[in-house]
Structure 1
C-alpha cells in the first residue's frame, strides 16, 4: 500500500504508520496539526475552491501557531517540526526529505550581495532552535545546524555547523540520533 505524504510526515513523529483517525488524534499537538494543514493545502491548486478553502484555514493557523511556512515551499517527505513556536521559511526555499526544524528558526532570502536569493536544504538536515539560514546557499545532506547558529555560506554534506558566525566540522554521523524514523 502506498503511503501519503501526510502519513510519511507523521511517521517521523512516532515511528508508526497511522490511519487517518490516528493522524487526526495526533493533531492535538500544534506542530503536527500545522504540518497536516500545510500538506492538505499543498494537495490542491491555488485557485481551486478547495485550494482557497485550505489556504484560508492554513492562514488562520499560521497566525494562531506562529508558523510562517507557505504551501509554495518545496518540502520533502518526512518533514518534522520539533516544537511549537515561531518558524519563518521563505516560500521559495527548497527543503529535502527527513528534515527537522526546531522552534525559532528563520530560513530567509538575502536581498543583495553575493548570496542574493534563498537557501536550498538537502536531505536529513536537523536545524536547531533559533538558527538562522540566509541567502542563496546550499546545505548538503546529513547536516546538523546547532542552536543559535548563523549560516550564510554553503555547507557540505556530512557536517555540523555551530556558532555565530557558523563554524563547519566534518562528521559522518552528524544527524545520528537527531533524525529518527527516517522515510526511505
Structure 2
C-alpha cells in the first residue's frame, strides 16, 4: 500500500496506520496538529488558493503553539515533534527521515565564518530539549543530540553530541530505543 507523508508522520506517534478521519481525530494533540498543517502547506504551490489558505493556517498555529518551521524546510517522512513549545527551524535546513525534535530546539543559520549556512541533518536523528544546532554543518545518521547541547561542528554517523562546548562520542547502537515506529 502507498501511504502518504502525513500517514507516515502520524505512524511515528502511534505505530498504527491511520485513516484520514483517524488522523484528523489525533490532531487534538498540538504536535500532531502542527505537523498535519505543515504537511498540507507542502502539498500545494505557494501561490495557489489552497497553498495560501494552508499557509495562513500554519502562521496561526506557529503563533498558537510556539513552533516555527516553514513549509520550505525539507523534512523527510516520519517526522516527529516530541513536545510542543518553542521550536525554531530555519527554512534552509534539511532534515532526514524518522527524526525527532523536542521542545526548545533551535536549528539555525550562520552568516559568516567556516560554517556559513544551514545544517543538514541525516536520518534517524534524535534532538533533545533545548539543543541548538547552527551553521553549515552535517549531522550524520543515527545521531543523538543530548539536551542543552550547542552543536557548531559536523557530527558523524552513530555518535552522540553533548555539552557546551560540544563533545562527540561514538555510540555503536546509534538511536536504537530513541526512535520508535520507523517508516
Scaled to the shorter chain, the TM-score interval is: over 0.9
Partner of 1:169: 169
Q: CA RMSD in A?
A: 0.5
**Aligned pairs for 1:32-71 within 5 A:** 32-71=32-71
Distance 2:30 2:153 in 1: 32
**Aligned pairs for 1:17-96 within 5 A:** 17-96=17-96
Partner of 2:138: 138
Distance 2:112 2:35 in 1: 31
Structure 2: stretches of 5+ with no match in the other structure: none
Instruction: Measure how far apart 1:174 and its partner are.
Output: 2.2
Q: Does 1:105 align with 2:105?
A: yes
Partner of 2:8: 8
Distance 1:39 1:57 in 2: 12
Distance 1:13 1:130 in 2: 21
Q: Does 1:114 align with 2:114?
A: yes
Structure 1: stretches of 5+ with no match in the other structure: none
Distance 1:61 1:155 in 2: 32
Distance 1:48 1:98 in 2: 29
Distance 2:77 2:42 in 1: 12
TM-score (norm 1): 0.99
Partner of 1:159: 159
Distance 2:25 2:177 in 1: 26
TM-score (norm 2): 0.99
CA-to-aligned-CA distance 1:61-95 (integer Å, 9 cap, x gap):
00000000000000000000000101000000000
- Helix, strand or coil: the match of 1:133? strand
After TM superposition, the runs of 4+ consecutive aligned structure 1 residues lying more than 4 A away are none
Instruction: Measure how far apart 1:173 and its partner are.
Output: 1.1
- Helix, strand or coil: the match of 2:113? coil
Distance 1:48 1:24 in 2: 23
